[in-house]
């Protein structure tokens, strides 16, 4: 099956550790920001009117997730996605991803330094040791 590069990236979506924003306001980056999703991630209702420069790194990370999921990808590649979040928001984030994966029969590869987190969110864990992949039993 031949896919164009951009179509592939819609299906297999990468959330990098640092998100980037190019319009002046938050809302311009989204097709739609539902208040339900904003609540689930503890983000303010009116955030779509905010200037991007006003966002904290934690807010950027959570918004980055919402932006990525607008494409409804089948696979999520998450690179240290909760690095800037406080404990409460980490929980909300993990739950959100979990719900998404279940609701859309999607799967994810989650990269993190937090072994505890990985045990919470994943069924299989691997560690890179000396350039090789070592599997861990859950």
Q: Which residues contact other proteins (rule: CB under 8 A)?
A: 4-7, 9-10, 13-14, 16, 18-22, 67-68, 71
Task: Quote the least distance from Cβ 77 to other proteins, whole Å.
Answer: 9
> Of 72 and 107, which CB lies nearer to other proteins in the complex structure?
72
Nearer CB in complex with other proteins: 100/125: 100
Instruction: Tell the smallest beta-carbon distance from residue 110 to other proteins (Å).
Output: 17
Q: Which is nearer to other proteins, 30 or 96 (CB)?
A: 30
Shortest distance in whole angstroms from residue 10 CB to other proteins: 3
Count of beta carbons in the 10 Å neighbourhood of residue 9: 13
């Amino acid at each position: 099956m031949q896919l164009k590069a951009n179509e592939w990236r819609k299906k297999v979506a990468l959330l990098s550790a640092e998100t980037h924003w190019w319009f002046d306001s938050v809302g311009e980056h989204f097709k739609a920001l539902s208040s339900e999703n904003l609540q689930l991630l503890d983000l303010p209702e009116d955030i779509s009117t905010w200037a991007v420069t006003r966002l904290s790194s934690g807010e950027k990370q959570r918004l980055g997730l919402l932006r990525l999921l607008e494409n409804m990808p089948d696979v999520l590649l998450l690179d240290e996605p909760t690095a800037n979040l406080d404990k409460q928001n980490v929980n909300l984030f993990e739950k959100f991803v979990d719900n998404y994966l279940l609701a859309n029969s999607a799967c994810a590869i989650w990269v993190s330094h937090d072994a505890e987190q990985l045990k919470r969110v994943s069924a299989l864990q691997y560690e890179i040791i000396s350039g090789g992949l070592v599997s861990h039993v859950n």
